[in-house]
Amino acid sequence: MISIDESRCNLCGICVPVCVRRILTKGEKSILIADRTLCFACGHCKAVCPTDAPQLPGLNEQFQPAPLKKEIPAAGELFRLFRRRRSLRVYRPDRVEKEKLKMLIEAGRYAPTGANRQACEYTVVNGRKILDQTCTLATQALQEEGKKIQEMVDQHRMAKKPLPEDLDSQQYFPAIWGRIANRWKEGTDQLLHNAPALILIHVKEHAATTAEIDAGIAATQMTLLAEALGLGTCFIAFLVRTLQGSKALRDLLKIPEGNRVYVALTVGYPAVTYLRLVGRRPAKVKWVGDYAD
């Protein structure tokens, strides 16, 4: 529960406008809290206070001094890091150190979440024994789903009806999933790309108001830190898809009942060196207001 240390507060009022829930006001001796139950411990007030008057029991030690401006990477350097990151599909067999995997989880933990719910949970799988079993179960699940999709596609074509948008975008999946499954039977991993580690981000149902966004932001911070640690990553959306319906796969990866997986991220050391930055098509932008076209 938040409180204000009156012995430290100098009534500068800097904390008042940064309070997300607008529960701080100036009093005669210190800042007043209108309703402590509305505070969700975002810490904005504590972060801007020059005297460290706001107190958040259990979290105080985490609000360490922020880096100086000169310690922050230059915009150009940071932008090049963004463009340097690629989805890695060629990994070395080297095991990823537990300390580095912990650092990636920390990067996700400190990502912003809607209403500061911090509902993201993580499952870390290290080693090919479980990952090989994951590939077996996932490729089987994909093939089963692929058959259903193909049946719907065939029905529409036989009836000479146009494919609905959602089905149109998935009509090539059965063939892709079939190839992945066949290659796995031959000993080639085209699902997890022989990565030595896997991280799943999942959220309990109704525990967050913006679960998919929260998981995406956490994963983004994790992938960028991975680059700084010399690791590569790849988002595996096909695995996420199978985890929605395969009980065997969820049990294998110990996903709690009622949790939905939003991100599956392979992690490992690159077996290749990319010599050029990422290229992308021009952004589709509509300027509104002062800079309108």
pLDDT in tens, 236-289: 999 999 999 999 999 999 999 999 999 999 999 999 999 999 999 999 999 999
The pLDDT value given to residue 92: 97
The pLDDT value given to residue 291: 87
Q: Specify the CATH number of the domain 3-62.
A: 3.30.70.20
Class at the top of the CATH hierarchy for domain 72-293: alpha beta
The pLDDT value given to residue 276: 95
Tell me the DSSP string of the chain: --EE-TTT-----THHHH-TT--EEE-SSSEEES-GGG-----HHHHH-TT--EE-TTTGGG-PPPPPGGGSPPHHHHHHHHHH--B---B-SPPPPHHHHHHHHHHHHTS--GGG---EEEEEEESHHHHHHHHHHHHHHHHHHHHHHHHHHHHHHHTT-PPPHHHHTTTTHHHHHHHHHHHHHTT--SSSTT-SEEEEEEEETTS-SSHHHHHHHHHHHHHHHHHHTT-EEEE-HHHHHHHTT-HHHHHHTTPPTTEEEEEEEEEE-BSS---S----PPP-----STT--
Residues 6+ apart with CB under 8 A from 213: 114
pLDDT in tens, 185-227: 999 999 999 999 999 999 999 999 999 999 999 999 999 999 9
The pLDDT value given to residue 85: 96
pLDDT in tens, 44-96: 999 999 999 999 998 888 889 999 989 999 999 999 999 999 999 999 999 99
Work out the burial of residue 100: count CB atoms within 10 Å of its CB; fewer than 13 is exposed, 13-18 middle, 19 or more buried.
middle
Do residues 194 and 145 touch, judged by C-beta distance below 8 A? no
* Average of per-residue pLDDT across 122-127: 97
pLDDT in tens, 131-156: 999 999 999 999 999 999 999 999 99
Q: What is the mean pLDDT of the chain?
A: 96
pLDDT beyond 80 at 293 = no
pTM (predicted TM-score): 0.93
The pLDDT value given to residue 292: 82
Domain ranges, ordered by start, for the chain: 3-62, 72-293
* Average of per-residue pLDDT across 12-19: 97
User: Range with the lowest mean pLDDT among 6-10, 11-15, 67-71, 206-210?
Assistant: 67-71
pLDDT category at 162 given cuts 50, 70, 90 is: very high
